[in-house]
Structure 1
């Protein structure tokens, strides 16, 4: 079983609001890996839960710490990092 961790900064001006949280949870949900996300001022939350992601209150410039544990952990981290660095396609 693989484990992967990556830190990535939120690029978009509005941060992790409803639409980015939905996209993040949707991508995380494609993977069987257990995926959590947080930042220095928060606990880790379930990356597959829109509500938990929104409770992070992650704004522009927040460094998200994404952890994945499972057979497809590296693929999950890769896709989620790509989403965040793209500014959630906004």
Structure 2
């Protein structure tokens, strides 16, 4: 199960514009990604703007991005998924991007 951790850098957290940018980037990956608070087992669908915004990921919140292994087939898919998660973490940790 590919997992990457990051910190929400946007001053307003994942609300409004930062959430929309993040969700758009997740949707473009075509992968079923879950975002959750680090240390938690419960998360929300990162492709859903409503779910991301209502989950209240504030500035400085540590999060995990997770993809279920069942959504991936083969080593190439795993490598692509890990690269996508890296890009998304960079976006989350960018003040301008998310």
User: Same fold by TM (over 0.5)?
Assistant: yes
Aligned in 2, Cα 1:49/1:87: closer, same or farther, shift over 3 Å?
Answer: same
- After TM superposition, give the deviation of residue 56 of structure 1 in Å: 1.2
Name the structure with the higher strand share: 1
User: What is the aligned partner in structure 2 of residue 25 from structure 1?
Assistant: 23
The CA distance in 2 between the partners of 1:22 and 1:15, in whole Å, is 11
CA distance in 1, matches of 2:97, 2:60: 16
Count of aligned pairs: 88
4+ residue stretches of structure 1 with deviation over 4 A? none
CA distance in 2, matches of 1:46, 1:6: 15
In our comparison, the structure showing a higher alpha carbon Rg is 2
The Cα offsets for residues 40-61 of structure 1, whole Å up to 9 and x where unpaired, read as: 5683111111000001111111
Alpha-carbon RMSD across the aligned residues, in angstroms, is 1.9
Aligned-residue offset at 1:89: 2.7
Secondary structure in 2 aligned to 1:67?
A: strand
Query: Structure 1 or 2: larger helix share?
Result: 2
| Stretches of structure 2 lacking an aligned partner (at least 5 in a row) | none
What's 1:85 paired with? Answer: 93
Consecutive unaligned residues of structure 1, counting only runs of 5 or more, are: none
Q: Specify whether residues 68 and 41 from structure 1 end up closer, same or farther in structure 2 by C-alpha distance, changes over 3 A only.
A: closer
Candidates 29, 35, 54, aligned match of 2:33:
35
